[in-house]
Amino acid sequence: MGGRAVSTATGSSAEATRDIEPGVRSALASFLALNAEGRLAAEYPVVRRLVAGLDGEELLTAGRLLSRLDPEDVLREHPATPAVSVAITGHGTLSMLVAPLTAQLARHGVLLRPTVGNYDGYVFELSEPGAGATEADLALCVLDPMVVFDEIPVPWRPQDVEQKLAEKVALIEGLTARFTAAARGPLVLNTMPLPRRFTAQLIDHRSRARLGAAWREANARLLRLGTEHSGVVVIDLDPLLAEGVAAYEPRVGVYARAHLSPDLLAAYAREVSHLARNRVGRTKKVLALDLDETLWGGILGDDGVDGIEVAGTFRGEAFKAVQKAAKQFGSQGVLLAAVSKNEAATVSRALREHPEMTLREEDFVRVTANWEPKHENLARLARALNVGVDSFVFADDSAFECGLVRRELPEVAVIHLDGDPAEHVGRLLADGWFDVPELTAEDRTRTEKYRGELVRSDFQHSFDSIEDYLRELDVSVRLSAVEADDVARVSQLTLRTNQFNLTTERLAPAEVQALADDPRSLVLAVRSSDRFGDNGLVGALLAHREADGLHIDNFVLSCRVFSRGIEQACLATVLEHARDTGAGAVFGTYRRSAKNGIVADLFPRFGFHRIGADDAADQPDVAAYRHDLATKLESPSHIRLTVELERQSA
């Protein structure tokens, strides 16, 4: 279970894709039929698609059945399936979390390997290194109000609760510090709901107010743990409760000591599933939006630029809220794209000239308005941006367009915005498709950078040879030891990058920090810029020293800066550093995944020789290489290279 969160992928493209037509049979009926035939593991890719269409009780039923399945059985049939080990610990009975969590992860095609701790075992399980929780990809410490109230004597006063809250929060703060120092994966905490069955036992409002204030202060301290530790995520349950989910179900609370209601656990599982998704490098990157009746009311082609509703009117205000939410996403690194069946010139005029439009052309990485099928436009956009279509979320009001995209590009997450536009924002946000543990400086300027990339690609077309182009591009590369400020971005690169990623080893910030602090390790940040601007921190190279030489553990590079010789400059630097520091050789490993074929020949291309090919039969997806340092690898002449291998702050 201690395996890293590596999406080992052997892209078995022959995966079963038995087509199950929606409409002929409901998704649940098809799922139950596969279960009855004992084919859930064998048909997992189909199962994933079926589960993606379920919600509520149906999703829970699927989760109960899937949680009976051994993840290893699925991996035997479909080795490319990502799996996440999750340690579940806390105060109350938590066995009811496994089914919804299994189902929520299955919606994303991620397998759950759960370990449920003992009742009220969190103190021991989080403080004991090697107890399992520290080895998991994600550790959930589920906190509930009974953490406090189980230890309050009767009769009680608000000050008794104040005292106990202070004690418990201090305990959790201590546990968090100890746990994050030892753990591989993040610790997930949550705020504690304040149940009316306790507040109402105080008959005077002054005492109730005092209890409420103390409770909120304790929750605020918990939330602050999530701002102070990079290895901690705190899920705020208040917004989930505000949506109308009951915090407590009296029967399972009293009889089974499950202190959070099954509905709340299901909503919590939905939030956690997006963290798990992020942990295996599957966070979505692009939000592709339809225009007519999605971003504005009315049909642009019929109603004209002045006739569409984007503000002021009842429906206009609803669409304005959608535009504001999309703009907010864009400001945090989500790439917005418009994909609309419309005349390009009219759309351009609407986005530029409509006085009340919230979103403007520059907010989109690309605006596609034509009469091509939308799935073809999405696929083309993915190629232009150099990202997978599986990093797309697509939202449209039309059932036809949604159905077609679902059918042609099943890896795209589709949000059908049918019904009242007042509900659009809620639907867009129902799933945290773009959730990440923290933002980096790169995220704030991503749209601009990708837009720049599209400009670069036009610039490239004006040159006869790639060499001329690269010389004119004026590329600068800075290779430096990772500093504290770089850790979050380096972790993010290992999590987000799927193509130029030699081993697909995903690292949480704490893991990057630990490597950076290890004197045997070399953790390098790669920055680049060119005549069009600064690309920022675009890559990382991780290596460590052993007696026989320097071992490259991984090398990742953002897809924005491929094919510019940056990888050659990096490898040339590392080889020279190895030679200068007396290393006998440099070793490298390539681990094939579904998406990193682009770097399959990286090492041989730069003078590394394959080793151990004879005993590679048992690991056909892994290739090991060695460079004997006899020949020197030059950095490309068109790159201006700066190297700082010593950390500025030790």
Partner 1 sequence: MKDVNDLIGMLRDQLGLPVTAEDAARHLDQVPGWDSVHVLWLVTVLERDAGRRVSLADLLEATSIQEIYELAAA
Residues that bind partner 1 (CB under 8 A): 32, 35-36, 61, 64-65, 67-68, 95-96, 98-99, 251-252, 255-256, 258, 262
Residue 135: partners with Cβ closer than 8 Å, 6 or more residues away? 1, 2, 85, 87, 183, 184
The CB-of-256 to partner 1 minimum distance in angstroms stands at 6
- Least distance from C-beta 113 to partner 1, angstroms? 17
Closer residue to partner 1 in complex, CB, 98/378: 98
How far is it, in rounded angstroms, from Cα 259 to Cα 150?
11
CA distance 340 to 370: 7
Cα–chain center distance at 553: 22
Phi-psi region of 536 (alpha: psi -120 to 50; beta: other; left: phi over 0): left
Q: How far is the CB of 47 from partner 1 (least distance, A)?
A: 13
Minimum CB separation from partner 1 for residue 251, in Å?
4
Burial (CB count within 10 angstroms: exposed 0-12, middle 13-18, buried 19+), residue 238: middle
The dihedral built from the CA positions of residue 28, 34, 37 and 39, taken in this order, carries a sign that is negative
**Nearer residue to partner 1 within complex by CB, 25 or 315:** 25
Measured distance CA(223)–CA(637) in Å, rounded: 50
Can you tell me the distance from the alpha carbon of 330 to that of 352, in angstroms, rounded to the nearest whole number?
18
Give 252 or 493: the residue with its C-beta nearer to partner 1.
252
C-beta of 118 vs 642, nearer to partner 1: 118
Q: Is 463 helix (H, G, I), strand (E, B) or coil?
A: coil
Are the CB atoms for 374 and 405 separated by under 8 Å? Answer: yes
Q: Is 478 helix (H, G, I), strand (E, B) or coil?
A: strand
242 vs 248: CA distance, rounded Å: 14
Side chain identity, residue 404: L
Q: Which is nearer to partner 1, 60 or 569 (CB)?
A: 60
Beta pairing, strands 138-142 & 475-481:
unpaired
Report how far residue 503's alpha carbon sits from residue 590's, in angstroms, rounded to the nearest whole number: 6
Nearer to partner 1, 60 or 409 (CB): 60
Shortest approach of partner 1 to residue 86 CB, angstroms? 17
Closest distance to partner 1 from the beta carbon of 381 (Å): 41
CB of 98 to partner 1, least distance (A): 8
Pairing relationship of beta strands 286-289 and 335-341 according to DSSP bridges? parallel
Counting every residue written for the chain, the total comes to 650
CB within 8 A of 430, min separation 6: which ones?
A: 415
Closer residue to partner 1 (CB): 96 or 326: 96
Question: Minimum CB separation from partner 1 for residue 594, in Å?
Answer: 29
- For partner 1, the closer of residues 58 and 125 by Cβ is 58
How near is the Cβ of 123 to partner 1 at its closest, in Å?
23
Q: Which is nearer to partner 1, 95 or 328 (CB)?
A: 95
Listed residue (482, 456, 455) closest to 470, CA to CA? 456
Q: In whole angstroms, give the CA distance from residue 228 to residue 440.
A: 15
Nearer to partner 1, 259 or 627 (CB): 259
